[in-house]
């Protein structure tokens, strides 16, 4: 285990099980859809989850990427979102979008993005998250597909970072507070 990790919250095996389960749910839910299914990865944290998930969906899927910045300290989010990389498509009314996110904290990023993509004219917009910290919500938001509900602890790995580090860890772990100057 990495020396900066206090405890593993989601093991490699559990992450694989989560991806298989959610891919199964998505495959069933969109089986009879007449629209194109677009998995929309939110850079950068969701890249690893997206890569694992998309391989397991038994339907034709398209993929795309958006990048969103939230201002604030590295271990908390301020709630102001800023779109750094947008989605540009001429066929919004023909796509069912599933936003793929690494973790939901305040809920602001996904609630803003969902509204934004609906306003842009998507046929439908749903959300999928690997991790959820519901105790941190500042706006009411419930994802359509949830990997695992976790306590209010700052986690890294499987795409999630602290100051751009630890994304490549194959599991999700709690960062030792002394690493980010916490107690």
Q: Between 123 and 162, how does the x/- string for binding to ligand IMP read (CB under 6 A)? A: -------------------------------xxx---x--
Q: 106 vs 171, which CB is nearer to Mg ion?
A: 106
Which of the following is catalytic: 4, 105, 144, 161? 105
CB 111 within 8 A of CB 139: yes
Any contact of residue 173 with ligand IMP (CB under 6 A)? no
Any contact of residue 26 with ligand IMP (CB under 6 A)? no
Q: 30 vs 154, which CB is nearer to ligand IMP?
A: 154
CB 132 within 8 A of CB 104: yes
Sign of CA dihedral 95, 49, 81, 146: positive
Nearest of 110, 108, 116 to residue 71 by alpha carbon: 108
Q: Give whole-number Cα distances, 131 to 127, 128, 145, 155, 159, in Å.
A: 12, 9, 10, 10, 11
Q: Between 39 and 78, how does the x/- string for binding to Mg ion read (CB under 5 A)? A: ------x---------------------------------
């Amino acid at each position: 285990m990495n020396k900066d990790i206090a405890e593993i919250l989601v093991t490699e095996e559990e992450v694989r099980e989560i991806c298989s389960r959610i891919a199964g749910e998505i495959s069933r839910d969109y089986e009879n859809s007449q629209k194109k299914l677009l998995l929309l990865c939110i850079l950068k944290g969701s890249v690893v989850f997206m890569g694992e998930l998309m391989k397991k969906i038994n339907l034709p899927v398209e993929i795309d990427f958006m990048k969103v910045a939230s201002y604030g300290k590295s271990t908390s989010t301020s709630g102001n979102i800023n779109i750094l990389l947008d989605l540009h498509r001429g066929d919004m009314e023909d796509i069912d979008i599933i936003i793929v996110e690494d973790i939901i904290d305040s809920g602001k990023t996904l609630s803003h993005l969902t509204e934004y993509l609906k306003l842009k004219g998507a046929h439908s917009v749903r959300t999928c998250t690997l991790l959820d910290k519901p105790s941190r919500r500042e706006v009411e938001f419930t994802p359509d597909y949830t990997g695992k509900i976790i306590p209010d602890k700052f986690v890294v790995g499987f795409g999630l970072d602290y100051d751009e580090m630890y994304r490549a860890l194959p599991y999700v772990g709690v960062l030792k507070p002394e690493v980010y100057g916490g107690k």
